[in-house]
Amino acid sequence: MPLVCLTDFQAQARERLPKASWDFIEGASDEGITMRDNMAAFKKIRLRPRYLKDVSQVDTGTTIQGEAISAPICIAPTAFHCIAWPDGEMSTARAAQAAGVCYITSTYASCTLEDIVASAPSGLRWFQLYVQPDWQLNKQLIQRAESLGFKALVVTVDVPIIGKRRDDLRNQIDLKANLRLKTLQSPDEAKAVPSSLLAAMNAFFCWDHIPWLQSLTQLPIILKGILTREDAELAVKHNVQGILVSNHGGRQLDEVPASGEKGVEEVLNILKEEFRTSMTLTGCRSIAEINRDLIQLSRL
């Protein structure tokens, strides 16, 4: 049976992956309220089409931070892709390159940054940073990513500590012991980075550290995990180039508001085609023609 929508891929992944791997990918924190609200929020959106327009030519392309992408679709940073496919993030990078979209690489990728770049040399990549207690290590990571051609630095701000992910605890999943954090080491290093780094997130990290990050790099800095107007305004005051409004997929603080290579490539193509279809059927010939008038929220 052909896989024609994202739900089909989700069902196949659940069937084929080990339970612990699936639970890690799909899991949420605590009661999972925010994760369920995320899905419900999207189902409330309704489109208001405008007809009798010439939509024989529809352009889904746009730019982010001055770089062209084929559609306003990006791959968010997620860790440990090797638990789903042996090539891990290298496959993800190749799929993103083929689709012409941006791939945001996680600090906790299971492949080296060098291997990821080599696997998709012409792809658009941003680097996501979990700020570490070792400031020299942060500097090394940022400057290494910049030297490898990553085009932006995405700093995750909503993980001072890891949320309580109950399924991972029940499964006794120990990624620290089983996976080498290859983004945190040079390719020629023989030994794994101490696993304690996975638990050492950024409880100390605050607004006062933003200027220090800016002093290290010419890359635009994007803050990921902003959820309030107050923090968005502070981001502007600190001269960051962008924010990603995110509740971490419901994997961090519960009850906050909602907001494989061939398989990845097919998922991206489905998203792009669905987006193009929606643009065509709502009378939008370019990204610039999309506006708030096209959206209404259902009370359902």
CA dist 186 and 170 (Å) reads 34
The answer to whether residues 13 and 25 touch, using CB atoms and an 8 Å cutoff, is yes
The two beta strands, 295-297 and 45-47, are antiparallel
Instruction: Say which residues have a Cβ less than 8 Å from residue 131's Cβ, sequence separation at least 6.
Output: 138, 155, 156, 201, 202, 205, 209
Contact at 8 Å (CB) between 29 and 92? no
Q: CB-based burial of residue 275 (10 Å sphere; 0-12 exposed, 13-18 middle, 19+ buried)?
A: middle
Radius of gyration of the chain (CA): 20
Joined together, the tokens standing for residue 108 give 């906790």
Type of residue numbered 253: L
- Write down the catalytic residue from 81, 209, 238, 248: 248
The first and second tokens of residue 52, run together, are 């009798």
Residue 165 corresponds to which tokens in the numbers above?
């992910």
- Per the annotation, the verdict on 81 as an active-site residue is no
CB atoms within 10 A of CB 295: 12
DSSP letter, residue 285:
S
The answer to whether the CB of 259 falls within 8 A of the CB of 41 is yes
Give me the active site residues, please: 248
